[in-house]
Amino acid sequence: MQLVFATNNLNKIKEVQTLVPKHIKLLSLKDIGCFEDIPETQNTIEGNAIQKAEYVKTNYGYDCFADDTGLEVDALNGAPGVFSARYAGEQKNADDNMNKLLNALENKPNRNAQFKTVISLHFKDQTYTFTGICKGEITTEKTGEKGFGYDPIFKPAGYNETLAEMDLKIKNAIGHRGKAVAKLIAFLNS
């Protein structure tokens, strides 16, 4: 079986590739000749994931899945949420995003947050969604060199290190994307 993972984010592809069974061949957008930016114009994480998967199926004809992830911070009423990638502007710079978030949380005692990933699978003319959540808190400073996005300032519940300090196997086992991908794989194997 082959499926397109509708992303240009090489970090996401690397993470997900380690989770997918060998009988499922993952194709990237580059592999199918898709070089345009796929629209993400919905106002929810779920909506963006569905929109991206439908775009690939409609324009390229492949069964595919797409994900969208947001960081939801309690003290900010769920922000940055669906705007996580462009929280500090359209340049989508991770350091700028983290700095803006750390500034917004300065002097706030409640630093609880969660990562939420929704995967939309467009498969055999049906659409399915799978959600993964990782609860934790926002640290006061960046720590760690692994991972990407907000990983250096997110410490999962029950752990003393940020996602950016964790081994990829641990991160995939406890993380939002890993949980959503596990549900996707269970579905494909059923």
pLDDT in tens, 151-186: 999 999 999 999 999 998 898 889 998 899 999 999
Confidence band of 120 (pLDDT split at 50, 70, 90)? very high
> Residue 157 burial (CB < 10 Å; 0-12/13-18/19+)?
exposed
What pLDDT does residue 16 have? Answer: 82
Tens digit of pLDDT for each residue in 79-92? 999 999 999 998 88
Confidence band of 12 (pLDDT split at 50, 70, 90)? confident
What pLDDT does residue 9 have? Answer: 78
Q: Which residues are catalytic?
A: 68
CATH among 3.30.70.270, 3.40.50.150, 3.90.950.10, 3.40.50.300 for 2-189: 3.90.950.10
Q: Which of 137, 140, 148 is nearest to 177 (CA)?
A: 148
Q: Is the pLDDT of residue 1 over 90?
A: no
Tens digit of pLDDT for each residue in 41-82? 999 999 999 999 999 999 999 999 999 999 999 999 999 999
Q: Which of 116, 37, 124, 105 is nearest to 72 (CA)?
A: 116
Tens digit of pLDDT for each residue in 92-116? 899 999 999 999 999 999 999 999 9
Q: Is the pLDDT of residue 15 over 80?
A: no
Q: Is the pLDDT of residue 8 over 90?
A: no
